[in-house]
Structure 1
Amino acid sequence: MPTRDVLGIATAATALAVLSGCAAPAAPQSNVPTSPTTTTVSSIPFALFTHCGIHEARVRDTFFAADQPLDDGHGNPPAGWGNPYQSGTITVEGSRAVFRDGSGHTVAFHERRGATSFLKTCS
């Protein structure tokens, strides 16, 4: 019949074996990314020129063309848009830009690579 000391040692050894299996690895796992994989994008306040319809936007030194230009058919902004500007925000991510305002308007744009001016000027 085992003595009380032998049972205590066996219990302690069992507990140590169980607890050591839960320890964190000593070195980082090789399959864990070391840097973030997403890019943070923020919106900036923007006054979209709408006077002759919504066709283009210039953000800093980059020119963008609307994916789907908007106008009333007579060279004016569509009903419900400000004229000559609509205030909102624009978000640029890579070669894409999206304008949004508090009225629910959204316009998507794509970059015109190498452009140095607007496609057309409005009087």
Structure 2
Amino acid sequence: MRPTRALVMITMGGLALALTGCSSEKPSPTPSANEGTTVDLYTHCGIRYLQVGADWFERVGGPLANEGNPPAGWNNPSQPGRVTVADDLATFTDDAGHKESFKKLDKPPSSATNCA
């Protein structure tokens, strides 16, 4: 690969990372059978949304936050755990004892709903 082309590719990759920043959540894998699947729940701005495969879910009961951050006892920027999906409800659990329910959304959340 020529040096100019490599530099362009590196620059574009860095630009893509800079544009996503805190405003996007990493897609989670699609859950397997009844065991669920391992996920990293995005918590940086509090617990609000969960993405499982192509589907988006919003926390039942509204956002769980402490002044724009996750409550005490949650990791920041993400919490490792497992998710199971049944019908339109996703349930997140982790080894710290957290258990949160998320209702399926008809469409992905607006990027304007995320914090900076």
Compute the TM-score of the two structures, normalised by the length of structure 2.
0.66
Structure 2: gaps spanning 5 or more residues: 1-32
Greater CA radius of gyration, 1 or 2? 1
Structure 1: gaps spanning 5 or more residues: 1-39
**Shift, 1:89, TM fit:** 0.3
- Counterpart among 73, 77, 80 of residue 84 in structure 1: 77
| Alignment deviations for residues 55-96 of structure 1 (CA, whole Å, 9 cap, x no partner) | 111111101000022111x11000000000000001111110
- Work out whether 1:70 is the aligned partner of 2:64: yes
- Counterpart among 45, 50, 56 of residue 49 in structure 2: 56
Q: Note closer, same or farther for the CA distance 1:62–1:50 as it changes in structure 2 (3 Å cut).
A: same
Aligned residue pairs, count: 82
The percent identity for this pair of structures is 37
The structure with more helix, counted as a fraction of residues: 2
Q: Note closer, same or farther for the CA distance 1:116–1:71 as it changes in structure 2 (3 Å cut).
A: closer
Give runs of ≥4 in structure 1 deviating > 6 Å. none
What is the root-mean-square deviation in Å for CA atoms of aligned residues? 1.4
- Work out whether 1:43 is the aligned partner of 2:53: no
In 1, the alpha carbon distance for the partners of 2:104 and 2:42 equals 17
